[in-house]
Each structure stands twice: as structure tokens, then as C-alpha cells.
Structure 1
């Protein structure tokens, strides 16, 4: 087993063990956590669907923002859209195609301003923002789902181009920063058929729609770790078999003395292997 102390074998064993540790302590638990999060989200959506809409102020009192416990809940809002303070969220997708999402502030009767996601529009042939229907004028009552703010991982700043305010995340704080409005923290995504809605933002169905759940991926990582350990054992065994002398095939005395076929005299001193073989040879002759 001394071959395991060679640099190449040490590096190989360390790499395999590191992969196994990663599978069992990082990758599989990560997928288990994602499965738990998805189950919790699906449960939250199912409970929201089974609950009748309530006034916005009931779930989001004055001075507060949208709570994570109330995400997906349906609410009614009455107010006036402010298209002059509209912003467009970039780099979105709708039905697998590039799209933009239209964020329009809605001023409520109590004076607060809520950022409403009116839905998405498909990007133009060259990626430009297409023309889309404006929100209705005057006082309207709309229904939508509560959402918390998104966060842009790259922390890209909003900007204005050709008179259009653009942001990289559906975030009321970004809209407030680029428009100068004071907005409620959180978003309301309009439901299908509501005044001013475009292509509504889809809601993930309970149970999810992925062909393989995160739980299956977690089991795969556990299996990969086990396979890596078994493979390591097989490679070590093969190396041992290659290094073991072949004792099944008869070996002539001449080959033994010459050290061929896995036999080599280890002691050339008095009484050693070499001397005993010399004596055997003389007695035979």
C-alpha cells in the first residue's frame, strides 16, 4: 500500500474525498433546502388562492411594507395610476422570450404610492421596448398579488434612455430612486383581466412543474458521492492486483534466480535466498 504515498495518488485520493465531502455537506443539502423552499412557496400560493382578496391596507398598514408572510396574497387597491412616473424592468422573460415588465405607480386614496407590476410585453426584433397600452385614467380599483422586492445580484443602477426609465429588478426602491417618489416597499402584480394589465406575471402552480424536483437532484448528489468512494476502492484494488506477483503460473528455477515473474531474492547474505537457491541448484545437478 506504499504506492498511496506517491504524489499522484495523494492528489487523486484528496480530490475524490473532497468531492465526496462536497456532495454530502454542500451540494445535497443545498438541493434539500431548495426543495423545502419550493414546498413552502407552493403551500403559500395554495393558501393565498384559497383566501378571498382583502383591501391592501389590511395587509400593509400605513408605514409598513409588504411582509414575506403575505406574499402571493390577493389584495384590492383603489387609486389613480401615474404613467408619468412609470419604469420598465429590463432583461425579463415571458413564455421563454425576451420581455420587459411595466412598473406603474398607483397613488392610493390614503396618499401612499404603490408600485404596480402591470405585466410584461415582448421585446422588439432588435431588443427595443415596444409600444404598449397605457394604464386607464382616473380612479380605478384593481386586484393583484403582493410580492416582495427583488434584488439585482449585479447591483446595476437604474438609468433613463430616450425618456424611458429602466431598472434591472422589480424593486419599488429602484422605482422610487429614479422617479423621486416615496413608495410603499413591495410590489403588487396585477391579476388577469384587471384594468391596465398587460400580459400578467404567471404564478407558479402548487407542486411545481419541473420534470425533476430538487429532492431528486439531492439524491443524485448523494449517489455521486457514494459512486466516487466505490470507484476509489476499485482503482486501489486494481493497482494492488497489478503489483501482486503472479503465483498461479509455475516459475522455473532459472527465472527465480533471475528475479523474473515476480520473484527476486531478497537476501544475498549467508543463509539467504540466493545461497539457498545455489545449494538447491548444486544438489539437483
Structure 2
């Protein structure tokens, strides 16, 4: 009877988990504990910030700079081609009502007709060759009746805001060669205004000047080449350079990559055990002999790192497991002892 009771006591315990299952559960537990710090509000905010910044770098800022680089390169190619291509009739390049674009801008065209000085307007507050300037805009009526806005060049201001005396546009039928330009845009869409006996515009925009003068102007405008009838100070061409846009795009990509690397390093630093002083691994008697453990400047003990917390939890688990084994082994020993006595 005693032997059968002991046998039942030994077989009542649940089957012990396999080594593989214990390792799997332990690995999952360790991973969960190690990465638990990522759920803190500070880490969540930092991760969100890095994700947003890197996304902006890769999808907005870098592509924007690449597009500006492409625009500069397209402009340079158009200007370079205009030096070698012969001028074309204006109506061939821009039929009536067609708006200039990247394909037609900077193309050299020939205009035949006469200036309309009654619609002359000055462009306000310009900068030419690094100095303040005004630009003189005079409508030009072609032989077919189309009216085009012509930029005759620049003049230097007098007393800051006054226009000097300058040569009037020639009269009669003439032929001029100019380059096509697209309209400028005034973000505030301000109308023309009168100042010092002249009509002024904030931007070289055919629609705005058409509204202010009552003349039906073709979209866009043209800039006279040097030496043409009616030209004042010939407007200089832009330099044939792409600018820093391409390098800026690469920098934004690099910033996005560095942000990801930086947060990865911070995570690694949080998971890595901190460097411990020599007294930490010394025997207990040596620790007490050397004095109390160092504390932070604020008087509190240094906060344990994630690795140290995991090590402490593992130690406690091992102690608990050893205690359970000891408790489980005690009844079995008692049963075996009772069996032997029987």
C-alpha cells in the first residue's frame, strides 16, 4: 500500500518541459525584456521623429533638390543651344496664345513690327549684376497684329527710387532679335502703380501689364539681345552652371541615413552593458572594506541598464528554478524512504 502511494506521488507531477521548449520560451522572454524600453514615451517620440525626418529626406527634400538641378541643367542646355541655332520667327516658336515653357524658353526669335511706347512700364526693384536696377518693358506689335511684351534692358536708379532719363523706343517699323522668357509670378498678385511719372510693375508678367495698360499681350515676354534697336543696358544671360542643388540632394539623403544610424546606435547603447568599475566584480568582503558603492551625484544609485536588469532577472529565475526543484525532490525522497522502511 505504501509503495503504491509513493508511486502515485511520483507520477502525479506534470511532465517536465523539454530543453528545446525551455530554450524557446527563455529566448522569447529575453527578447521581449530587452526591447521593452522601446515602448517608453521618450523612445516612441524619438523613433517617430526619425521616421518622419528620414521620410522627408528621401521623399521630399532630396527629390526637390534633384528637380531643381534638372531645371538648371535644362536651362543651361537651352541657352547653349540658342547660341548655335539661328533665330526663328516669333510666330513659328510661339503661335498666338501659346505660353512659353521649358522647351521654348531662351529660344532666339525675330520680331517685325513697331514699339508701343504708350504701354511702357518699368519693373520695380530689380538686381542686375549685383546692383539695384529697373527694367524697361515696352509692348511691341507684330505685323500680324500680335502684341508682345519686350524687355528693353535695365537702367540704374537715381536717388534710390527714381528712374533716370533714358532713351525712348525707336519709332516706325523695325526688326529686333530677342530671347523668349516665361512670365514671372508675384506671390501677392499686386497690380501696377504710378510713381514719379512712370507706370511700375512688381513682376515682369504679361497678364498683369495687360490688365494695367489695356493692351492684349501674348503670354510671356522677350528680352532684347545686345545691339538691337531700342536696347538699353542689355540683360546678362545666366551663368551656365547647375548650382549646388545636386550636392544638396545628396546631403539630404546622407542626413536621412545618418538619422537611422544614430537611432540604431542609441538602441545598441541602451542594450549594451555599461562599463562596470573594479569594485563591482570584487568579493563581498572587499566591497565592504573599500566602502559603500558609489552613487550618482544626486544621491541616488545609478540606474541599471537593460543588460544589467536582464542579468538580475536571470539570476532570480535560476534561484527560483533551483528552489522549485528542491521542493519537488523532497516529496520523492520521502516516498522512497517510506518504501524502503516498508
Q: Same fold (TM over 0.5)?
A: yes
Match of residue 247 from structure 2: 216
Match of residue 125 from structure 2: 91
> Does the residue aligned with 2:70 lie in a helix, a strand or coil?
helix
**Greater shift after overlay, 65-74 or 22-31?**
65-74
CA distance in 1, matches of 2:119, 2:223: 17
CA distance in 1, matches of 2:201, 2:172: 26
Q: CA RMSD in A?
A: 3.1
> Does the residue aligned with 1:184 lie in a helix, a strand or coil?
strand
Contact 2:225 2:234 in 1 (8 A): yes
Match of residue 113 from structure 1: 147
Contact 1:89 1:168 in 2 (8 A): yes
Match of residue 234 from structure 1: 265
Contact 1:94 1:122 in 2 (8 A): no
Deviation at 1:47, TM superposition (A): 2.2
- Identify if the C-alpha distance between structure 1 residues 260 and 245 changes in structure 2 by more than 3 Å, giving closer, same or farther: farther
Deviation at 1:194, TM superposition (A): 0.9
> In structure 2, which of residues 264, 269, 284 is the aligned counterpart of residue 253 of structure 1?
284
Match of residue 283 from structure 1: none
Match of residue 211 from structure 2: 177
Contact 2:125 2:134 in 1 (8 A): yes
CA distance in 1, matches of 2:316, 2:251: 56
> Does the residue aligned with 2:62 lie in a helix, a strand or coil?
helix
Structure 1 stretches lacking a partner, 5+ long: 276-285
Deviation at 1:90, TM superposition (A): 1.7
Structure 2 matches for 1:133-282, cutoff 5 A? 133-206=167-240, 208=241, 210=243, 212=244, 214-241=245-272, 244=274, 246=276, 249-253=280-284
Q: Which of the pair has more CA radius of gyration?
A: 2
Deviation at 1:66, TM superposition (A): 4.5
**Greater shift after overlay, 42-51 or 232-241?**
232-241
CA distance in 1, matches of 2:211, 2:263: 56
TM-score, normalised relative to structure 1 = 0.81
Aligned residues: 267
Structure 2 matches for 1:9-24, cutoff 5 A? 9-24=43-58
Say if 2:94 is the partner of 1:64.
no
CA distance in 2, matches of 1:268, 1:95: 78
Structure 2 stretches lacking a partner, 5+ long: 1-34, 295-303, 324-342
Contact 1:66 1:146 in 2 (8 A): no
